[in-house]
């Protein structure tokens, strides 16, 4: 009986490898059949097009969660032979757009809070987990460890995000909280010195691995759950009238570990 040696040195007999290959083939065949069935019945706002709300149409920073999400949605649309059409929107209230028939899918990295459930749209299965945190410049890391250290300082967040919710809940009266429309504006203020810290998540895969989201020039501090003991999960919002899209997306999430580029 012949054997096959993997790069890690483990020896697998040829019979096992053939069984493994057959299993992979069957899985791929099932996915292909599933995709074909979805395409037959899938109904989107525009025929052959998946219209998606994002906060940045052309992210390029490898640390940017919107780039990870963009790549993920690119592959999802391709798996259904759909052309991708992006609509750039502010984050705040973006979860309402699917129910308002503006887009088929909202991909702005929305936490699945109950107060974000909106008629006409449904949350997908979770694809990402987050914890609340603050980001500061590495040069001042010895001066700050938690939010209470920012007495008399200015801290910023993107309007409508869980980070802003957490910041407003915990900020002391002596602090100034600045809310911006997007991360671009937020980081411009931070880089110019208008902000002493940024409230932004630390990102985790569903199995608990940290996804690197900043370089060595920044330090993450004050990491905590928004609601103690309750994981904060990110979801997409799917337009209910885009029939069979939710089922296809949930299947894709189950089969494809996020982020694919990780």
For 181-216, write each residue's pLDDT tens digit: 999 999 999 999 999 999 999 999 999 999 999 999
What residue ranges in the chain does DSSP mark as E strands? 3-5, 11-13, 49-54, 83-88, 105-111, 121-123, 128-137, 154-158, 176-180, 197-199, 202-204, 210-211, 218-224, 232-239
For 212-249, write each residue's pLDDT tens digit: 999 999 999 999 999 998 999 999 999 999 999 999 99
Contact between residue 188 and residue 107 where contact means Cβ atoms under 8 Å apart: no
d(CA 66, CA 56): 7
Phi and psi torsions of 59, nearest 5°: -70, 145
Phi and psi torsions of 234, nearest 5°: -95, 145
The separation between the first and the last C-alpha atoms of the chain, rounded to the nearest angstrom, is: 37
d(CA 17, CA 4): 8
For 36-54, write each residue's pLDDT tens digit: 556 568 999 999 999 999 9
pTM of the model: 0.84
Backbone region of residue 9 per phi and psi (left: phi > 0; alpha: psi in -120 to 50; beta: other values): left
């Amino acid at each position: 009986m012949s054997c096959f040696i993997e790069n890690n040195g483990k020896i697998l007999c040829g019979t096992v490898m053939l069984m493994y290959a057959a299993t992979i083939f069957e899985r791929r065949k099932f996915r292909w059949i599933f995709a074909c069935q979805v395409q037959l019945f899938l109904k989107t706002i525009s025929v052959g097009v998946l219209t998606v709300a994002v906060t940045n149409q052309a992210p390029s920073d490898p640390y940017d969660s919107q780039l990870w999400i963009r790549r993920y949605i690119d592959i999802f649309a391709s798996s259904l032979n759909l052309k991708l059409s992006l609509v750039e929107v502010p984050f705040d209230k973006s979860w309402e757009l699917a129910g308002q028939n503006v887009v088929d899918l909202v991909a702005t990295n929305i936490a699945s809070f109950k107060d974000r459930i909106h008629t006409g749209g449904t949350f997908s299965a979770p694809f990402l987990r987050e914890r609340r945190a603050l980001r500061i410049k590495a040069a001042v890391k010895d001066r700050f460890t938690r939010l209470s250290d920012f007495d008399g300082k200015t801290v910023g967040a993107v309007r409508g995000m869980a980070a802003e919710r957490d910041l407003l809940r915990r900020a002391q009266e002596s602090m100034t909280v600045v809310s911006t429309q997007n991360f671009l504006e937020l980081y411009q203020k931070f880089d110019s010195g208008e902000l002493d810290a940024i409230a932004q998540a630390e990102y985790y895969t569903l199995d608990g691995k940290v996804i690197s989201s900043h370089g060595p020039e920044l330090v993450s501090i004050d990491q905590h759950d928004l609601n103690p003991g309750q994981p904060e999960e990110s979801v997409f919002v799917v337009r209910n009238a885009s029939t069979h899209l939710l089922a296809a997306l949930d299947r894709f999430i189950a089969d494809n570990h996020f982020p694919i580029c990780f």
